[in-house]
Structure 1
Amino acid sequence: MFDACPEMPLTPLQQSDAYRKALALTQTRTSTLEDGTLILRRKLAGVSLAMLPRAQLSPETLPDLIRTARKRQHLGKDILILNPDTPSKWLGKLGAVPIMTPQYIAELSLTENLRAGLNQKWRNRLVFAERQGLRITRQNMTQKPDQWLLQNNQEQQRERGYSGWSDALTLAYAKANTGDAKLFTAFDGKTPVAAMLFLKHGRSATYHISYTTPEGRALSAHNLLMWQAMIWLGSKGVTHLDLGGVSTEHAAGLARFKLGTGAKLRRLGGTWIWWPTLGRCLRPLSFLDQKLMR
């Protein structure tokens, strides 16, 4: 379906130290495997769940890591929800069952010639935006819960029927990682018309949330914001920008915007459920669903 992006071994946001610090401020229950893999602890209808988000898993090490964690009561008899960062069909051999097909994400290298990598139409919109006299500001995310981007993003989520991080977690990230939650805002005169928030974590950064008004859309403000963020992040030693999920079926316009930057698509590993207590009893179910994970 898509061309594959060369594997980028940098740590995803959901497994970064910066994310751990934010979770600690929100008093989210977590633990780790011996190799440092982050585990989110949840209870659903009285059932203990251990979630491994965007985990960089290996068939050679995962069984022993889980076995050790269970012995040391880091996991107990929790049901595991695994979200591998790369395709991991081998999980089926352990008895894990796929419950959600893999997502594609867009990843952009910031070490290339960025202008040359832009799609022609994307570049044309950028040139147009650069001529509109927009004023772009860059600042550290503040701790105000009523700031313009957060308020509009919440309304946008309600209108479009999706959900993401809570505002509390976003603000906790900014507080726990001073200077690493960067807010770019476009103004037409004194009026904000678009904004984007990027989260830095090590040599990587993640495109977190954004919003644009109808006027901002008409002025291609998002192209200008993204471009200036790409340039600034690269100048600060960030080599890899995660633009998040891409769906040509449900959000074709957003997919074109992300890929127009020159980003490459990469396939994640889907979502698997695994209860080690059952051993490999569920392997037959896994094989029935293998087509989901291709």
Structure 2
Amino acid sequence: MRDAVPLPQSPEFAAAMRLMGRPVRIETLGTGGDAIRWQVLSRRLRPLGQVDLISRGPLLRDVPLANWLDQARRAGPLILNADGADPQILRAAGFWPLVTPVSLALLPLGDAGVMRAALRQKWRNRLNRAEAQGLRVVRRGLMPDDWLLSAEAAQARTRGYRALPAVLSLAFAQANPGKAVVHEVTHRGAPVAAVLVLRHGGMATWQTGHVTEAGKRLGAMNLALWQAICHAAEAGHGVLDLGPVNSDDAPGLAHFKLGTGARIHRLSGTWLYHRALAPLAGRLPSCLAA
């Protein structure tokens, strides 16, 4: 099984960033088979100047977090979207909490029969009904003028939330041919639902999706996601990242994601390291540690 590397730490993501003109560098700690690697994005942020960003990396294995932090923070200001990090160690290393931890829905992939049995009953019932509707499922690549991207952007404007940038999805598709996969469901010749999955190493990521009102009545989104799940498993991926779950702001979407049998994986929050602020970080009240 290939390493299950999160999207922001994958070579495919780095290729997309470079295509977009975003500087990416690879850092390592250790040598040989025990070495760990992580990807760093850099950009200018007022008033901090040049800032590094490390998102969901590295995969530490047996390396102590404190050892890695010593190297990661040397270049200057650093924003760390931490995964599996102890808040007390981050504070002791001079990091300030910026954003409280986010929870993700991670779905283990494997045998189709086992995965179907793991679906929650209501989710499986909707899938069964969708499969009996005579809906057509098409697997295809992402197109520059894809209706999925424009429909999701329009819905985001209407409902007042921030959609994932289409430019990233398009750059990923261009930089990694065959790894940006759309699973589209049509009814009477018209698309009623679609999901976009980005494939990277041992993981795959549900990047975005959209369902029409007609598609909701038909259970088309269940069918689209189920086909995406099965294809990712057949392609050798071990985990499908379904993205954030927020039961307070988007309970319906959270319920839908968890209905697949996904498990909740809590990240460690977003943290800032700046040399001028570091001496004060350890004095923060414990309630402010993400």
After TM superposition, the score normalised by the length of structure 1 is: 0.88
Is the contact made by 1:98 and 1:286 (CA closer than 8 Å) also made in structure 2?
no
- The answer to whether 1:25 aligns with 2:23 is no
Q: Alpha-carbon deviation of 1:266?
A: 0.9
TM-fit CA distance, 1:272: 0.7
1:288 shift after superposition: 4.8
Aligned in 2, Cα 1:19/1:164: closer, same or farther, shift over 3 Å? Answer: farther
1:238 aligns with 2:237: yes
Q: Is 1:80 aligned to residue 78 of structure 2?
A: yes
Distance 1:279 1:207 in 2: 36
The alpha carbon displacement at 1:279 in A equals 4.4
The answer for the alignment partner of 2:34 in structure 1 is none
Q: Who is 1:122 aligned against? A: 123
Using the alignment, how far apart are the partners of 2:25 and 2:65 within structure 1?
21
Which runs of 5 or more structure 2 residues have no equivalent in the other structure? 30-36
Report the counterpart of residue 281 of structure 1 in structure 2. 280
1:285–1:60: structure 2 CA closer, same or farther, 3 Å change rule?
Answer: closer
The counterpart of 1:55, out of the listed 54, 57, 66, is: 57
Cα pair 1:87 1:267 within 8 Å, conserved: no
Q: Provide the rounded CA distance (Å) in 2 between the counterparts of 1:32 and 1:163.
A: 29
Question: Residue 283 of structure 2 aligns to a residue in which SS?
Answer: helix
Partner of 1:141: 142
Write out per-residue CA displacement over residues 241-289 of structure 1, whole angstroms, 9 at most, x where no aligned residue. 0000001111111011100000000110111111135543321126351
Question: Identity rate of aligned residues, in percent?
Answer: 38
Q: Offset of 1:147 from its aligned partner? A: 1.6
Counterpart of 2:78, as a letter, is L
Flag the 1:191–1:42 CA change in 2: closer, same or farther, 3 A: same
What's the counterpart of residue 32 of structure 2?
none
Gaps of 5+ in 1: 1-8
CA distance in 2, matches of 1:148, 1:249: 29
- 1:9-38 deviation line (CA, Å, top 9, x unaligned): 721001100000000100012223324311
Q: CA RMSD in A?
A: 1.7
Question: What SS class does the counterpart of residue 156 from structure 2 fall into?
Answer: helix
Partner Cα separation in structure 2 for residue 204 and residue 177 of structure 1: 15
Give the equivalent residue in structure 1 for 2:254: 255
2:28 aligned residue = 34
Does the residue aligned with 2:28 lie in a helix, a strand or coil? coil
Task: Please say which of residues 17-26 and 161-170 is displaced more in the overlay.
Answer: 161-170
Q: How many residues align?
A: 273
TM-score by length of 2: 0.89
Residue 185 in structure 1 maps to residue 214 in structure 2? no
